[in-house]
Amino acid sequence: MFGGVNGLLEKMKNDKIKPTIKTITFLMELAPDSLAAENEIIKYARSENIKLDIDFFNMLIKKRSLRGAKKEAKQVLDDIHMADLRPNIVTYGVLALSCSTPFESRDIMQTMKMTGHTVNKFVLDAMLNNAFLKKDFRFVLELMEIVIKERVRLDNSTFEKLDQFQQKMTEIVKRKDPISRKENFKVGFAKFNLRYKTWQRDVERRVITERVSKTK
């Protein structure tokens, strides 16, 4: 209606209305999914001396992660540091949206540790969702072990997602889907099923131990 992002900004300028960081963040959320459009907004904000905050950069990471621009999403971390800001847990949650391999998950978690953050349910859920979509049992198993090692507190929704994943994979085997005949699928699913039973007990045991220690 206003001629895109540039048209809206020009209209605001003509009406002598100065955009705030909230305006710029909303514009970033609504802008076309392209580096050119994103860079144009950043360029405008800097020309108007609008201080970009962590919420803005988190929105930018989210946009890039959701469209699969992994390299560009991670590069925003450099922009955050250049703006004299610090990543927060939301930053890593939106970065995790583009994490689709064990290597990428380890890389993000290493970066989190370097900035004093620990993995939480939201970061883990984002990674798990990608692992489920790829039917990557090795990735799922590695994330399950991280839950134990990092003592990540989960809620029922995460356990439900794991149950649903197991059920869907079981259905694939029952209907003899072509993917179920592949050796890596058969081996991976067998390892997942075997570990899932003991993993649930390990998580439950840890939760009970934590509750007992709190009552002392």
Domain coordinates in residue numbering, the chain? 1-69
Residue 52: how many CA atoms within 13 Å on its side-chain side?
A: 27
pLDDT of 3 reads: 55
The pTM score is 0.84
pLDDT of 214 reads: 62
Tell me the per-residue pLDDT of 101-142, one tens digit each, with 9 for 90 and over: 999 999 999 999 988 999 999 999 999 999 999 999 999 999
Tell me the per-residue pLDDT of 195-208, one tens digit each, with 9 for 90 and over: 999 999 999 877 66
**Quick check: 2 pLDDT over 80?**
no
Band (92; pLDDT cuts 50, 70, 90): very high
Q: What is the 3-state secondary structure (H, E, C) of 160-206?
A: HHHHHHHHHHHHHHHCCCHHHHCHHHHHHHHHHHHHHHHHHHHHHHH
